[in-house]
Amino acid sequence: MVSMNLHKPNLLPRGLLFGALTVLGAAIDLWSKEQTFRLKGLPGEQEPTWWIENLRGGYAGIETAINQGALFGLGQGYGWLFALVSIVAITGMILWLFVGKACESLWLTITMGLIAGGILGNLYDRLNMHGLPGPFAGGVRDWVLLRYRSGTDEYTWPNFNIADALLVAGAILLGIYSFLYPTHDGNERKVATDKSVATDANSI
């Protein structure tokens, strides 16, 4: 009886890709935080610096802020819990990718690399490795400011950072993957089984 094995990618290149995206994403996030806080100081020390300002009232700029919660300021005061969840999440991702073999998907490898980079960038801050004093200790450094004015109304998006952007981008990619390939793994196993059965039948 003859069996057929589908080609699977080497895990080492996927591991290197995941690691590179994780390290690069976290490095860019931490560098941008460090430079911005060095330039603008702690929250409240300087007025926002606007990059884009037009006649219709749209703004984009930088303003230092400290977030003691999660994405978009949710869960204020539970930074320790989010730090713990971050560690568990990264561990789970690594196991899923390289033990569960999800890294056989290039899309998932890239997606998880972006998410891991975002998690590490904010985890660095939650563990107070930035060394900010007093009430800012253990807070995540945010600096991107988006604001829109329409007449007398003003809308300000919660300040965020590169790590947050990586997390959102990863979540969007994961959602697209789930929509495009809802039964990808199951179909792959079925194709492999069908091909093996067909080959065995022909060899009798």
Catalytic residue among 29, 125, 153, 164: 164
Instruction: Give the HSE-up count for residue 162: Cα atoms under 13 Å, Cβ half-sphere.
Output: 19
Q: How far apart are the first and last CA of the chain?
A: 7
- Written as six digits, the tokens of 103 are 């890294």
Query: What is the CA 18 to chain-centroid distance, rounded?
Result: 12
Give catalytic status of residue 29 as yes or no: no
Q: How many CB atoms lie within 10 A of CB 161?
A: 24
Which among 153, 164, 163, 144 has a CA at the least distance from the CA of 49?
144
Which among 156, 171, 163, 157 has a CA at the least distance from the CA of 141?
163
Angle, vertex CA 50, rays to CA 49 and CA 55, nearest 5: 150
How far apart CA 167 and CA 104 sit, in angstroms, is 21
Distances (CA, A) of 25 to 121, 154, 179: 8, 32, 25
Catalytic residue among 29, 142, 194, 200: 142
Give Cβ neighbours of residue 165 (< 8 Å, ≥ 6 apart). Answer: 118, 144
Give catalytic status of residue 142 as yes or no: yes
Active site positions, annotated: 142, 164
